[in-house]
């Protein structure tokens, strides 16, 4: 299918700087202007998971953004969720836990999820991770590649 969605990307320099709040507000604004809009965050590190009726999980911030869009939340809005656990993290891809984090598989899942949203909606408000090497030092599960960014 052809992608007709316009995408607005919200970026920030760190965690906790208001990206999610801005995304929620933009989603609400665009919806009130009559656009069919969806939120998207490819990867989120959070211990605040939202449980969907079918048992799948996604980040709570994207579930709130979905509500601002007048939508039920779905894993395509947050295809990769990393939940910090003692000494590591639990990887959730497309709403379901996976046995191990595979960067390439996660990247592919995120791309497919975005493509599906872009086919169905007029606008996608995408949120960046906003993490720097300094801020990810506290997350042992953050995927590093030979120390390079």
The predicted structure's pLDDT at residue 147: 45
The predicted structure's pLDDT at residue 143: 53
The predicted structure's pLDDT at residue 138: 53
Q: Are 21 and 13 in contact (CB under 8 A)?
A: no
The predicted structure's pLDDT at residue 93: 97
Distances (CA, A) of 67 to 31, 70, 86, 139: 10, 5, 31, 28
Distances (CA, A) of 108 to 77, 79, 84, 125: 14, 10, 22, 19
Helix (H) or strand (E) holding 60: helix 60-68
The predicted structure's pLDDT at residue 149: 36
Q: Are 89 and 51 in contact (CB under 8 A)?
A: no
- Give every strand in the sheet of 43-45, ordered side by side: 43-45, 80-85, 88-93, 96-98
pLDDT tens sequence for the chain (149 residues): 567 789 999 998 888 889 999 999 999 999 999 999 999 999 999 889 999 999 999 999 999 999 999 999 999 999 999 999 888 889 999 999 999 889 999 999 999 999 999 999 999 999 998 665 555 555 555 555 444 43
User: How is the chain split into domains, by residue range?
Assistant: 6-136
Separation of alpha carbons 104 and 132, rounded Å: 21
Domain 6-136: give its CATH code.
3.40.50.300
> Which of the 8 DSSP states describes residue 131?
-
């Amino acid at each position: 299918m052809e992608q007709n969605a316009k995408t607005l990307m919200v970026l920030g320099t760190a965690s906790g700087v208001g990206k999610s709040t801005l995304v929620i507000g933009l989603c609400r604004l665009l919806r009130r202007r009559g656009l069919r809009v969806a939120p998207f965050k490819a990867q989120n590190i959070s211990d605040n998971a939202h449980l969907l009726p079918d048992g799948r999980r996604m980040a709570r911030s994207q579930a709130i953004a979905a509500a601002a869009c007048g939508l039920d939340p779905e894993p395509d809005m947050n295809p990769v969720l990393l939940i910090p656990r003692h000494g590591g993290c639990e990887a959730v891809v497309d709403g379901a836990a996976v046995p191990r984090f595979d960067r390439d598989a996660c990247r592919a899942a995120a791309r497919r999820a975005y493509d599906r949203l872009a086919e169905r909606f007029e606008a996608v408000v995408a949120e960046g991770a906003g993490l720097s090497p300094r801020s990810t030092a506290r997350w042992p599960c953050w995927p590093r590649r030979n120390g390079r960014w």
